[in-house]
Amino acid sequence: MCPATPTQASRFHLSLPSHGQAVQHGWWGSEGVARNKFSRWVGEYGTMPGGHIVLTYEENGAVIQVWPAQE
């Protein structure tokens, strides 16, 4: 499991809010691991009402992936 707070090596942040409340979040140092976790969260939490999963690159705030996809 990833630490609850970021470290210098933790560059990728994954968050899952639902109806404005934080449900789950974590930081990873590897983009590959973070993308894998993103896919797992979509499978595990994808049917959560109001759920919104976001993977960002913390160094510049760039959004890498979002579920459900924004239109």
Q: Give the per-residue pLDDT at 3.
A: 44
Give pLDDT tens digits for 4-26: 455 556 799 999 999 999 999 99
Q: b vs e for 34-50, b when ≥16 Cβ sit within 10 Å of the residue's Cβ?
A: bbebbeebbeebeeeee
List Cα–Cα distances, 44 to 5, 11, 37, 58, 63, in angstroms: 22, 23, 10, 24, 21
Q: What residue type is assigned to position 22 of the chain?
A: A
Query: What are the two backbone dihedrals, phi and then psi, of residue 21, each rounded to the nearest 5 degrees?
Result: -110, 135
Give pLDDT tens digits for 31-65: 999 999 999 999 999 999 999 999 999 989 999 99
The pTM (predicted TM-score) of the whole model is: 0.81
Strand 62-67's sheet: what is its strand order?
21-28, 12-18, 53-57, 62-67
